[in-house]
A and B are shown apart, each in its own frame.
Chain A
């Protein structure tokens, strides 16, 4: 060791100083997945398809979301409601609704285009899986359960025009980051812990 290097002990100590300083600071690392960070309120994650308060689907299969989608991620095929099995208010519903979440760029344009506030982006982000095919979300995984519906169906309103669209837009999703949520509506497999959400 040359003599010159000895003079660098000061620098070494300075560096260690930084190390020790952070040792006693609050740690930013979160113990994911047992703990989760709170999202920004307008975070764009996994989609969900919403229902009205009476359980009817909001989506009317109009394909506006799929037309506006810059990533071409959405496929909608409409069909006619039958009186015996009414899926949505009005005449039309989405018989098939699929989003390829691998194509999606989470821009939220679909949400903007939807005339009934049916499709919204939730803060859910955990979609990892082993197969590409399972990233194509169809109605069975996108549609919220009937009890999660909100708002009055337009059938009950004069001239069939829903007036609560603005309100639904406000309560953007059924996900409460404060209370924790399932990663998808699939079930309880990924129920996260409520404790430990970042304060």
Chain B
């Protein structure tokens, strides 16, 4: 902020010096004096609706609301005077006239502002003799939220959140007077990536989470503060555990640097997989085509023997894939162990992403807010780094930044967010605001063409900040820790090895003897790695990859281990094991596995203090002088669009052939979200999106079912030749490039991930059953 003029205000006899224009509620916080509020929220500012924040200001005839009164010099305020207390008591009495007082069954009970204020300021009885107005209870607002209309105090925080922060404007206030209620516009299900936040914003128990409904009371929960590792944003969160099970997660309101106080629904709700019965609880070994459970000692012996034998012959026939879902310490030790054995084939990149560190121009998340223009390339950050996307929205909605999307096949931003879709880099440059001071480039880390050419053409004089949203939470940490075939920890040059795609090709050609995969699921994209003579996979579940392996090792999840993680902006964040969370007795963290394996292999690993120091040293170091699309990262990734013209043959079925684009959805990922019964409803249906022109030409509408036929068969797709997509729900999406079909990747039982870059045509167009069509919002 520019130089602030400080003023002095006296609150309850204590003088406070604050910048001019500070709201009185905030000034009072500085002397730890809490003024009750309902409608005011630090991130959304005052609304002046609820009148609970009444205070007495000397010289003013009536009580004033503290949330919407800016301090002035010499102001004398009494927050606890009789007059102020009287005012609050009167306001509370009115709030309670129609309140159902069902605290005993209310999920907010124990942390409810209405309860707390009624205890602190209320009069303890009601003068009302008429029956209460009753309204609907347990209203199903959408897949995540339940609304109790009777408890609502109409503070409109939820409505304002949807409007000011998310920009979706789904929640509205309906009807008038005592009958006014919260509802969604058009009565559609309340559904976007940030719905869970309204349960924390709601000062009462009107909006509650379905997954936490009646599960616990606030005082039963053991709380741990940790980092969400579902995506590379790394939001800080509280994990609340009861009876050994994660009951809920909560945001940290003062986490301004990373999450801005919000969580996305994936991070908030996808926490129920820890006690899923499908978890791997014992090392599993494939013998004669069937799985047998074995002990850790045997598992480590088998694994170590395979590595030892292969290394003795040729260390180049050993490969390691993974690291993007491990902690920094785990990734460091992993590469340390294998490099000590002479193995150079190390890569974290098990999907479509080729780079995770933005290099010299990387910005912080807060910097995004002060950009004049934000250019989005590739997959939408809304699906890959949702809470970072909230910053983009904040910059656009509140600070007037211009959002430009290049050649995006994604759904457009909701209408209130001013965004522009362009097809080429040249057009994007044209749309930039005049003399921009700061431009942010947000890239998905996959196809570098747009990013590099954009970087070249940006106007000189503007500061450029780069961001990479990615698939794996700690991808940047894994890179800094040396889980790359060409670099050692801290981006030091290493003896060059094969990257993941080359390893897979080597496996297909029978040149890879042992492959170890840690927390990655490349089988979603291609399965040829399984031709390595021995594959070990460490995971929580029997993923597609684990099923193809020879040895499966039960791993611990992120709430079950301790370490650090690196987010997309390079912040090093703590990962803490949740108190009293029940973990399968035989699951080991990847760190414990690596240590045990090192012992069997006779490699001496550095002790914990050395590891911690090394990790911090490498992460604190300024990144090497590279930027987006650096050549060292190569172009070969496991899932890459096919550039081979031979495979782009002309279509023959029903006329038009489409290029497949595979997209991430927040809840689309197989892995953990497939093993969380509580959020099953959030998993998207397999769908296919077309541009309106293509849809018209084909004669399909939103809500139709189609099947796909392969036009060209790549070896990647081959394995799934007979199942390339049935019953795909059509969505006609504005702004999509022509000749493209967008499919959702990562869904269980859907082959979409394997189809990236393939050419397909559409067949068998028919109307989808009603419920399926409804899910996609088709007109009835």
Contacts and interface: CB of A to CB of B under 8 A. Distances in A.
Interface of A: 60-64, 67, 77-80, 90-92, 115-116, 158-160
Interface in B101-117: 102, 104-105, 109
30 contacts: A60-B104, A60-B105, A61-B105, A61-B214, A62-B104, A62-B109, A63-B217, A63-B220, A64-B104, A67-B217, A67-B219, A77-B215, A77-B243, A78-B105, A78-B214, A78-B215, A78-B216, A79-B214, A80-B213, A80-B214, A90-B102, A90-B105, A91-B137, A91-B214, A92-B105, A92-B214, A115-B104, A158-B131, A159-B132, A160-B100
B105 A159 contact: no
A143 B215 CA distance: 21
B138 interface: yes
Contacts of A63: 217, 220
Contacts of B109: 62
A79 B217 CA distance: 12
A92 B105 CA distance: 6
B134 interface: yes
A91 B137 CA distance: 9
Interface string B202-239: 00000000000111110110000000000000000000
A60 B214 CA distance: 10
A91 B134 CA distance: 15
Nearest to B243: A77
Contacts of B214: 61, 78-80, 91-92
A61 B213 CA distance: 12
B104 A159 contact: no
A159 B126 CA distance: 16
A92 B108 CA distance: 14
A112 B265 CA distance: 40
Contacts of A60: 104-105
Given A78-B216, A160-B100, 16 more contacts: A61-B105, A62-B105, A62-B109, A63-B220, A77-B215, A77-B216, A78-B105, A80-B214, A90-B102, A90-B105, A91-B105, A91-B137, A91-B138, A92-B214, A159-B132, A159-B134
A116 B213 CA distance: 20
Nearest to A64: B104
B131 A159 contact: yes
Contacts of A61: 105, 214
B213 to A, nearest CB: 6
Contacts of B216: 77-78
A61 B215 CA distance: 10
Chain B interface residue count: which class?
10 to 19
Nearest to B242: A77
Nearest to B133: A159
Contacts of B105: 60-62, 78, 90-92
Contacts of A67: 217, 219
Interface string B128-163: 000110100110000000000000000000000000
A120 B134 CA distance: 31
Contacts of B102: 90
Contacts of B220: 63
Nearest to B138: A91
A164 B132 CA distance: 19
Nearest to A75: B243
A111 to B, nearest CB: 15
A150 to B, nearest CB: 20
Contacts of B131: 158-159
Contacts of A160: 100
A160 B104 CA distance: 14
A62 B103 CA distance: 9
Nearest to B104: A62
A102 B402 CA distance: 67
Nearest to B220: A63
A116 B132 CA distance: 20
B208 to A, nearest CB: 11
Contacts of A77: 215-216, 243
Nearest to A116: B104
Contacts of B104: 60, 62, 64, 115-116
Contacts of B134: 159
A69 B100 CA distance: 26
A85 to B, nearest CB: 15
Contacts of A116: 104
A115 to B, nearest CB: 5
A62 B131 CA distance: 25
Among A61, A79, A92, residue most surrounded by chain B Cβ atoms (within 10 Å): A92
Contacts of B219: 67
A84 to B, nearest CB: 15
Nearest to B105: A92
Contacts of A78: 105, 214-216
A158 B138 CA distance: 19
A77 B245 CA distance: 12
Interface string B55-90: 000000000000000000000000000000000000
Contacts of B138: 91
A158 B133 CA distance: 11
Contacts of B132: 159
Among B105, B131, B132, B219, residue most surrounded by chain A Cβ atoms (within 10 Å): B105
A115 B106 CA distance: 13
Contacts of B137: 91
| The 10 A-B residue pairs with the shortest CB-CB distance in the complex, in nearest-first order | A62-B104, A78-B214, A92-B105, A92-B214, A115-B104, A63-B217, A60-B105, A80-B214, A80-B213, A91-B138
A77 B220 CA distance: 10
A115 B219 CA distance: 19
B630 to A, nearest CB: 53
A26 to B, nearest CB: 50
Contacts of A64: 104
Contacts of A80: 213-214
Among B214, B215, B217, residue most surrounded by chain A Cβ atoms (within 10 Å): B214
Contacts of A91: 105, 137-138, 214
Contacts of B217: 63, 67
B714 to A, nearest CB: 49
A170 to B, nearest CB: 22
Among A60, A61, A63, A90, residue most surrounded by chain B Cβ atoms (within 10 Å): A63
B580 to A, nearest CB: 14
A196 B132 CA distance: 54
Contacts of B243: 77
Nearest to A114: B104
A33 to B, nearest CB: 38
A65 to B, nearest CB: 10
B317 to A, nearest CB: 53
A79 B247 CA distance: 13
Nearest to A96: B243
A6 B390 CA distance: 106
A138 B78 CA distance: 53
B293 to A, nearest CB: 30
A115 B104 CA distance: 8
A69 B408 CA distance: 59
Contacts of A158: 131
Nearest to B148: A91
A124 to B, nearest CB: 26
Among A61, A62, A158, A160, residue most surrounded by chain B Cβ atoms (within 10 Å): A62
